[in-house]
Amino acid sequence: MADGTYAVLSLLLNVSRLPSASILTRLRLDACLYEPAAAREAGKRGRNALKGKAQPKLSARLAASTTQWKKHTLCWYGGTKREMELATGTALWYQSPVPPVAIRWVLIRDPQGQYEPMALLCTDQEALAVQIVEWFVLRWTLEVTFHEVRAHLGVETQRQWSDLAIMRTTPALLGLFSLVTIFAQQLLGKPPFPIRQTAWYTKALPTFSDTLAFVRQHLWPSTFFSVSSDEGDTVQIPRVLFDHLVDTLTFAA
């Protein structure tokens, strides 16, 4: 599953040739789609045709009254259900000089008009339209993970020169993301998750910054990781002030 950046014919062609893999991406509404090539007539000279008759552009299908739309209740973003209208079909996507790629296209239209119409493609022509859309929706959790790992754990900002070090760091940080999530789940129990709000931004669900701060609040006051000498000077401060300082620092980037 990928965004429209990976809707590249050469990539789709290579993936479609693999026996147990397919690719699902967004599709341009003005993509050139064709029927399969007709069978070669006996005794006809010349090379075999690569494609058949041109199909209407998906942008034209959106406006056409003959397009067959079906309403489906889909698993949507944020773990919700949403009713959408889908139209689907199979075609060859072709643009010289790359050979044509067989795809299933899916048009998505929101009856409520909240979302702009969009198109998806899948190199598995046997896949159902509903399944294709729900697969694509699952991609959002990956996008959120990569965004939050970049924002809070420093992925893509490493300062190594060794290729091996670079290859080790990103998987280690992604593993740390998973560990923080698991620690928070174990610490949470039944109480509701503490979600930090601001005057200019409210949110109903916790983000990774809340999760990371929650784990830090439990780890930092602990003496298990203390390496300071027991004979050092100590300064006593009120518990309320100490908790406030810890709470503030846990949200630091």
Tokens of 44: 């006809």
Give the residues of the chain that fall short of pLDDT 70: 46, 190-191, 223-235, 253
Q: Residue 130: what pLDDT? A: 96
**Eight-state DSSP code of residue 108:** E
Q: Residue 231: what pLDDT? A: 62
**What percent of the chain is helix, strand and coil (3-state, nearest 5)?**
40, 15, 45
Q: Which of these, 122, 137, 132, lies nearest to 7 by C-alpha position?
A: 122
Tokens of 92: 């060859």
CA distance 157 to 175: 17
Q: Residue 246: what pLDDT? A: 79
CA 45 to chain centre: 48
Euclidean distance between the first and the last CA atom of the chain, given in angstroms as a whole number: 30
CA distance 103 to 121: 6
